[in-house]
A and B are shown apart, each in its own frame.
Chain A
Amino acid sequence: MSYTAWIILTASLVGLSCGLVGVFLILRRMAMMADAISHTVLLGIVTAYLVTRELHGIHMLIGAVIAGLVTALLVQWFHQLGVQQDASIGVVFTTLFAIGVILISTSVGNVHLDVQHALMGEITFVPWNRIDLPLLGEIPEAAFLLMIVLLIVLISILAFYKGWKITSFDPALAVSLGIPAAAMHYLFMGLVSVTAVASFDAVGAILVVAMLVTPAASAYLWTDRLIVMLALSGGFGVASAVIGYVIAVWLDTSISASMAFATGILFVISFLFSPLHGLASKYMRGKSSRALPKNSV
Chain B
Amino acid sequence: MTSHVLQVENVAASYRKNTVLQNVSFQVKPGTLTAIVGPNGAGKSTLLKTLLDLHPKLSGHVQFFGSSYQKMKRKVGYVPQRGSVDWDFPADALDVVMMGLYGQIGWLRWPSRRHRELALEALDKMGMADYSKRQISQLSGGQQQRVFLARALVQNADLYFMDEPLAGVDAATERAIMRILNELKQSGKTVLVVHHDLQTVEDYFDHVLLLNGTVIDHGETKQAFTQENIARTYGGALQWMKGEAFYAHPARK
A binding-site residues for B, Cβ under 8 Å: 27, 82, 159, 161-163, 165-166, 168-170, 172-179, 220, 223-226, 228-229, 294-297
A175-B52, A225-B92 are known; give 10 further A-B pairs, CB within 8 A: A159-B107, A161-B110, A162-B110, A165-B91, A169-B85, A172-B54, A173-B99, A174-B102, A176-B76, A224-B92
Q: Is the CB of A224 within 8 A of B54?
A: no
Name 15 interchain pairs, CB-CB below 8 A, sorted by A: A159-B107, A166-B99, A169-B99, A170-B84, A176-B78, A177-B100, A178-B73, A178-B103, A224-B90, A225-B91, A226-B90, A228-B90, A295-B140, A297-B142, A297-B170
Q: Is the CB of A175 within 8 A of B84?
A: no
Q: Say which residue of B52, B84, B91 sits within 8 Å of A226 (CB atoms).
A: B91
CA distance A295 to B73 in the complex (A): 31
Q: Is the CB of A165 within 8 A of B99?
A: yes
Q: Is the CB of A168 within 8 A of B89?
A: yes
Q: Is the CB of B78 within 8 A of A173?
A: yes
Q: Is the CB of A162 within 8 A of B87?
A: no
CB distance from A18 to the nearest CB of B (A): 19
* A161 cross-chain contacts in B, Cβ below 8 A: 110
Q: Is the CB of B99 within 8 A of A225?
A: no
CB distance from A218 to the nearest CB of B (A): 13
* A162 cross-chain contacts in B, Cβ below 8 A: 102, 105, 110-111
Interface hits, B50-67 → A, CB 8 Å: 52-54
Q: Is the CB of A224 within 8 A of B141?
A: no
* B169 cross-chain contacts in A, Cβ below 8 A: 297
Q: How many residues of B contact A (CB 8 A)?
A: 43
* A176 cross-chain contacts in B, Cβ below 8 A: 52, 54, 73, 76-78
Known interface pairs A170-B99, A173-B78, A176-B76; A223-B84 also in contact (CB < 8 Å): no
Mask of B65-97 contacts with A, CB within 8 angstroms, 1/0: 000000001101110100011110111100110
Main secondary structure of the interface of A (DSSP, over half): helix
Q: Does B27 contact A (CB under 8 A)?
A: no
CA distance A223 to B135 in the complex (A): 10
Q: Does B49 contact A (CB under 8 A)?
A: yes
Q: Is the CB of B96 within 8 A of A169?
A: yes
CB distance from B71 to the nearest CB of A (A): 11
Q: Say which residue of A159, A163, A173, A220 sits within 8 Å of B90 (CB atoms).
A: A220
Candidate in A82, A223, A225 with the most chain B CB atoms within 10 angstroms:
A225
* A177 cross-chain contacts in B, Cβ below 8 A: 73, 100, 102-103, 155
Q: Is the CB of A296 within 8 A of B90?
A: no
B binding-site residues for A, Cβ under 8 Å: 16, 49, 52-54, 73-74, 76-78, 80, 84-87, 89-92, 95-96, 99-100, 102-103, 105, 107-108, 110-111, 135, 137-138, 140-142, 144, 151, 155, 168-170, 173
Which residue of chain B is the closest to A27 with respect to CB atoms? B89
Q: Is the CB of B168 within 8 A of A297?
A: yes
Candidate in A174, A294, A296 with the most chain B CB atoms within 10 angstroms:
A294
* B89 cross-chain contacts in A, Cβ below 8 A: 27, 168-169
Q: Say which residue of B52, B53, B90, B144 sits within 8 Å of A223 (CB atoms).
A: B90
Candidate in B16, B53, B91 with the most chain A CB atoms within 10 angstroms:
B91
Which residue of chain A is the closest to B17 with respect to CB atoms? A82
Q: Is the CB of A179 within 8 A of B102?
A: yes
* A174 cross-chain contacts in B, Cβ below 8 A: 102
CB distance from A22 to the nearest CB of B (A): 14
* B90 cross-chain contacts in A, Cβ below 8 A: 27, 220, 223-226, 228-229
Which residue of chain B is the closest to A225 with respect to CB atoms? B90
Which residue of chain B is the closest to A161 with respect to CB atoms? B110
Q: Is the CB of B91 within 8 A of A175?
A: no
CB distance from A290 to the nearest CB of B (A): 14
CA distance A228 to B90 in the complex (A): 9
Q: Is the CB of A170 within 8 A of B135?
A: no
* A297 cross-chain contacts in B, Cβ below 8 A: 140-142, 168-170, 173
* A175 cross-chain contacts in B, Cβ below 8 A: 52-54
CB distance from B9 to the nearest CB of A (A): 21
CA distance A172 to B84 in the complex (A): 9
* B140 cross-chain contacts in A, Cβ below 8 A: 295-297
* B141 cross-chain contacts in A, Cβ below 8 A: 295-297
CA distance A165 to B74 in the complex (A): 20
Q: Is the CB of A159 within 8 A of B108?
A: yes
CA distance A177 to B105 in the complex (A): 11
* B85 cross-chain contacts in A, Cβ below 8 A: 169-170
